[in-house]
Structure 1
Amino acid sequence: MLVNLMDLINFSDDERLSQKYVKYYLNFKVSKQYRHEEIITIKKMVELLDLDYEYLGGFTYSFILPHLNKELDLIKVTKNSVINIELKSAKVSDGRILKQLNQNKYYLHLIHKPLYQYTYVMSENTFYKIDNDSLVMAKPEEVRKLLLNHKKAIPIDLGDIFKPENIFASPFYMTSRFIQNDYLLTDSEQLVERQIIKFLENDEDVIVEGPTGSGKTMVLYDVARKLEKGIIISPYQVESFQKLNEAFPSFKTISIEEFRNFDDIKYCFIDEVSKIETQKINDIILEGKRKNIRIVLFLDLKENDEIMSSLLGLTNNILRLTSPIRTSREALDFIDSLFYHKKLFNNPKYKVIYSSECYLASKINDYVKKGYTYISYEDNEKISDYSYKLYTKRAYPYEFQKIVMCIDDKFYLDEKKHLKSIQNDDGIYYTRLLYQGLTRAREEIVVIITNKKILAELIDIL
């Protein structure tokens, strides 16, 4: 909600009452912390600015960037500006203030308006700003004039702007936004990216491991766009490769089937390593070593926990992305409960239902009509005439709001009640295909089970 700074400091001389009032006024969640020192800081800043009530309104206070775990102290959005003021009760180093303002600039560029940024330090009663990449003092008159000229805030849902689908731009299905740099990386992604670049600068290879949805592909492409003479090898051919190759002459994206040799290449990035035959990966690594090309591998060990042993000869430099970004925590918990028999709290967005084989096609059809995407295991599977069916491999690298998949007699439970399966004709376990498919879901998952034994065990934990 938008607040007037005057309304935040009504009871600044009574900390107990101020805490109760501010938490009530702003509808703070129980877990959200009240900081009285910050209220005092706002009071001192308001006194310094010496503005009437009408010019101090329209601010969002203590906004938490969802999925990024970052807090912005004060934000005001008008028709032609974004005003960000960070609050400090005591002076910290110039480097820390500069870093925070630059981080905020990175986040707030998604609003696509001219940005004005300041840090107010109460102990010095002084504003700071960035000027030519350096931190300098800003006169109170400058901030006062800014607020006088940008009086009227516009109603804007910051939570909507910073939703995952707006923060993150897949190079594959949000290609234009990726090309335009209209996305953010989380702190952990930025850290891993800096470490990758450092390893490459030191002429070292590196492996990046992380679960589905942790941002591996985003990091890969963000690194590649910063370097020269790179090649990205993908398990599959995706239509957006052509658009990416036209936009970024510094690197080229190809499918594993297109790869022949390294030609004028300095860096080789391999995406979704666990989806590529191990022998092909080893051949590329050997060729890279022979030509002194740096290799960066991105993989999810959950999809193939045996693959790392074959890669240990490449490097000991292993980086990990751990936090799910694209796939929700709730979805990953649901998937884990299916695979590893873990107790799960009921969530209507993630369901298991039963169907006999004879009614399976009709059941799938019903969900497709409700907007679900059905992902099958076989490329030639013909269950029905429903409009949207994708073979698991073709679902990569896209995402879908709602997904429906099946668990049938190809699956079974081991002695630990963990979900296992037989292999298909290509030697790929159906559990791996199931995992790949389910992690394409953004919002809802339905798993249709025709195997009564598996259903009987799952009912106990779901």
Structure 2
Amino acid sequence: MKSLSIYSITRKQNTEQLQKLERQLSGRAYFLKVRDWEMNSMRLFVDQLELHMEEVYALRFFYSFTIPRLGKEFDLIQIKEEQIVNIELKSGEVTEEAIRKQLLQNRYYLAPLGRTIRSYTYISSQDRLVRLTNHDRIVEAAWEQLCRDLLNESQDYEGDIEDLFAAELYLISPLTEAARFLNKEYFLTSQQRDIERQILKKIRADHKGYCWFTGLPGTGKTLLLYDIAMKLSGRQRVAIIHCGEAGQEWKTLHERLRRIDYVTDNEITEEKLSSYSAILVDEAHLLLPERLECLQQAGTRCPVIFSSDCEDMISQEERKQNVAEDLVHLPDIQVFHLTNRIRTNAEVSSFILNMMHLPGRRGLRPYPHVEVVYANDDREAENFRKDYLRQGYRPPQENEECLVVVMDDRYYYDEKGYLRSEQRDVRKLFHQLSRAKEELALVVKENETVYTVLLNLLQGRK
């Protein structure tokens, strides 16, 4: 998305013409839904600028930009080599605290660009301009000062604004970035915030019961779970249960948390859970049925919140046990589904989902960040693996940007198009593949049938 002249889009014209003009100038992939109140505010804003400076038509802003995958929107951003000017538009009366909160959050998202940030809000109904100071206060702003900022002599950024923002700069992992998490150096996406709001509302009303959110790997489930735990632990002790293999990393994080206890799924007993005011369960898809019974009993006296991976693309036979069917039947359980992939390349994610279940409704597309090679024996497979490691790829035991995985002849596709394994380990493979954030390499060894299918997927065919 490119910057544009707000002078050009505030000229009198009908909505259809305006949408076409905006798309043409910004290079947006879709027609922007233009809100009348915002356009009226921007027209009044431009009128004021013309009273205080010449050549307003030459100013370039990124208009109505949303950071990909995060849902964070900005009204107007001017980006230059040395500074950024952010202007938010309001039509009606709004509190100073609300303005301050928004501008502080905007400044946080803009800070990684490494430029001086000037933050303003224009309230058109009051013809009022305010700014955020370096001491985080809201004060009245002079139009002359804003004009000086906008006329900064450094060069305008003329590229695609999306190239400047990476979701990984803002959405952290409590496990690998414990210090940033504990310092609250993160924000949730709009979808995460909405789910959290509904869960906390239910807890405040009922003080017990069950909530459950699911999503594919990379949708920020663990971050959301820990953020909820932090809010619930303000005045009470809560437990976070990690299912499956309990790594030392979790224990390291919990040594620095207050009123949040680390519990493994092997420690789940009615006696153990009885001392907590809330219980949160990570990777609930790995729960054993007998553990779930204890958690169901706990939910009759305190809130129990489950987080689990979505495994719809894995065949029922490969899942071994379907905890999801038991969870969905818990009394009055509130269920949510996270859909926005945050830490995983959308292209790599699409490929993984399609290779897991061929007839899926997911659209086929090119996969320039996925490679598939064929090895005729162990020696060739090891040579390919070493070469990928030399290029910076990592094995599936590590959560890395680039991942290399070897698939042997145990894998096959059944009559329904599900990837299956003679050892029933497709579920494990899926979670290994989902650790790839940006690049994925598959070395297929002595399995021409699966190799052919994967090659077809790379060509955009099933």
Q: TM-score, normalised by structure 1?
A: 0.76
For residues 28-107 of structure 1, what are the structure 2 equivalents within 5 Å? 28-33=27-32, 41-49=41-49, 50-53=51-54, 59-76=61-78, 83-87=85-89, 91=91, 94=94, 102-103=101-102, 105-107=104-106
CA deviation digits over 1:192-241, x for unaligned, max 9? 11111122222222122222222211110111111221111113333443
3-state SS of paired residue (1:405): strand
Which amino acid in structure 2 is aligned with residue 191 of structure 1? D
1:248 aligns with 2:257: yes
Over residues 383-412 of structure 1, what are the superposed CA-to-partner deviations in whole Å (9 max), with x where a residue is unaligned?
xxxxxxx2xxxx4xxx31111112222222
CA contact (8 A) 1:205 1:295 kept: yes
Give the C-alpha shift of residue 299 in structure 1: 0.9
Say yes or no: does 1:175 pair with 2:195.
no
Q: For residue 323 of structure 2, what is the aligned residue in structure 1?
A: 307
Distance 1:93 1:209, change over 3 A: farther
The DSSP-based 3-state class of the residue aligned with 1:189 is helix
Matched residue, 2:439: 444
SS at match of 1:225: helix
For residue 174 of structure 1, report the CA deviation from its aligned partner: 2.1
8 Å Cα contact 1:8/1:39 also seen in 2: no
Deviation at 1:160, TM superposition (A): 5.5
Corresponding position of 1:386: none
- Is 1:372–1:403's contact at 8 Å kept on the other side of the alignment? yes
**SS in structure 1 of the partner of residue 280 of structure 2:** strand
- Cα distance, 1:277–1:128 mapped onto 2, change above 3 Å: farther
Deviates more, 1:268-277 or 1:144-153: 144-153
Residue aligning to 2:220? 215
**SS of equivalent to 1:183:** coil
- The structure-2 alpha-carbon separation of the partners of 1:182 and 1:150, relative to structure 1 and needing over 3 Å to count, comes to farther
Deviations 1:334-385 (A, max 9, x none): 112211114733312123222122321111111111111122xxxxxxxxxx
Matches within 5 A, 1:257-296: 257=266, 261-262=272-273, 264-286=275-297, 288-289=298-299, 292-296=301-305
Which residue identity is paired with 1:176? A
Between the aligned residues of both structures, percent identity stands at 23
CA offset at residue 128 of structure 1? Answer: 6.5
**Structure 1 counterpart of 2:370, one-letter code:** Y
Deviations 1:132-167 (A, max 9, x none): xxxxx986x645435446853877796466311112
Give the aligned partner of residue 361 of structure 1.
382
RMSD across aligned positions (CA): 3.9
TM-score (norm 2): 0.76
Do the aligned partners of residues 20 and 125 (structure 1) sit closer, same or farther apart at CA in structure 2, a change above 3 Å counting? farther
Of 370, 373, 378, 2:394 maps to: 373
- Distance in 2 separating the partners of 1:115 and 1:263: 51
Instruction: Give the SS at the match of 1:400.
Output: coil
Return the alpha-carbon distance in structure 2 between the equivalents of residues 238 and 150 of structure 1: 51
Render the CA deviation track for 1:4-40: whole Å, top value 9, x for unaligned.
9xx532685574998888666x552352549597677
Unaligned runs of 5+ residues in structure 2 are: 133-137
Counterpart of 1:196 (choices 199, 202, 206) is: 199
Conservation of the 8 A alpha-carbon contact between 1:81 and 1:150: no
267 and 107 in structure 1: CA distance in 2 versus 1, 3 angstrom threshold: farther
- Partners in 2 of 1:262 and 1:161 — Cα distance? 46
Alignment length, in residue pairs?
420
- Between the aligned partners of 1:361 and 1:289, the Cα distance in structure 2 is 50
CA distance, structure 1, for counterparts of residue 252 and residue 150 of structure 2: 40
CA contact (8 A) 1:215 1:325 kept: yes
Does structure 2 retain, via aligned residues, the 8 Å contact 1:127–1:138?
A: no
Once the two structures are TM-superposed, the CA of residue 180 in structure 1 deviates from its matched residue by 2.0
**1:456 lines up with 2:455 in the alignment:** no
Which whole-Å CA distance do the structure 2 matches of 1:116 and 1:362 have between them?
A: 54
Q: Identify if the C-alpha distance between structure 1 residues 81 and 222 changes in structure 2 by more than 3 Å, giving closer, same or farther.
A: farther
Structure 1 CA distance for aligned equivalents of residues 171 and 253 of structure 2: 17
Secondary structure in 1 aligned to 2:437?
strand
Instruction: Please give the residue correspondences for 1:310-329 in structure 2 after superposition, counting only pairs within 5 Å.
Output: 310-311=326-327, 312-313=329-330, 315-329=332-346
CA distance in 2: counterparts of 1:85 and 1:334, whole angstroms: 39
Q: Residue deviations 1:87-106, cap 9 Å, x none?
A: 36xx45759x9878755643
Whether the 8 Å CA contact 1:208–1:320 is kept in 2: the answer is yes
